[in-house]
Structure 1
Amino acid sequence: MTEQHDTMMYPTIEELLGRTDSKFRLVTLGALRACQINSYFGQLGEGLGAMVPPQVLTMSRKPLSIAFEEIAVDKIIAVDPPEVPEEDVLADTLIPTGDADLGGDDLDSADQGEAALDSAS
């Protein structure tokens, strides 16, 4: 018979790893949700209501602990982002060709301004 010791962390890491497909997903999910919870607590007095409040009743005050408790009871789940077609990704990263105005005229006027300041001194 194995003896089970009380741990400082609730829920346990083993229980949380069972809710996600990898430890990296667990860390990312917990960190993102903890940031949201922290922002929610920061905006409480402002009445904005843009953030989702904690989804569990807890005695914990730490955002990461609250996030892990939400993950443990399946209130927060990881969802993969939608895939973007390759054509859309390439269209967003195109670099303009030589026909684009690179702002060379602005450099000339800036140089003239400096020369005018030097002659006024």
Structure 2
Amino acid sequence: MEDLLSDVDSKYTLVILSAKRARQINSYFSQLGEGVAEFMPPQVPLRADRAPKALSIALQEVADGTISYERTADGIK
């Protein structure tokens, strides 16, 4: 957990960032069979023998630094 917090500015940012990315990953997998490519696929290697949860994938992406975020309002910390 401490490793993840070093990549973001607060624990609240980590929660929001990983939750939004997990929703994107869920949407990606649900649209996969429909041929719609609206969301970016997971950016970490997936193991074929077990399917990780979307939140686990999102947290791994944060830990690896493959996703980033940008503050939209100044002065919010």
Q: Bin the TM-score by the shorter chain.
A: 0.7 to 0.9
Structure 2 residue aligned with 1:81: 72
Specify which structure has the bigger relative contact order, considering alpha-carbon pairs within 8 angstroms and separated by 6 or more residues. Answer: 2
Distance 2:32 2:42 in 1: 12
Give the letter for the 1:52 counterpart. Answer: M
2: CA distance, partners of 1:78 / 1:51:
16
Give the number of the structure whose alpha-carbon radius of gyration is greater: 1
- Between the aligned partners of 2:32 and 2:46, the Cα distance in structure 1 is 17
What are the residue-to-residue correspondences of 1:29-108 with 2, within 5 Å? 29-59=17-47, 60-81=51-72
| 4+ residue segments displaced more than 6 Å | none
Q: Which runs of 5+ in 1 are unaligned?
A: 1-12, 84-121
* Cα distance in 1 for residues equivalent to 2:36 and 2:46: 23
- Percent identity between matched residues is 49
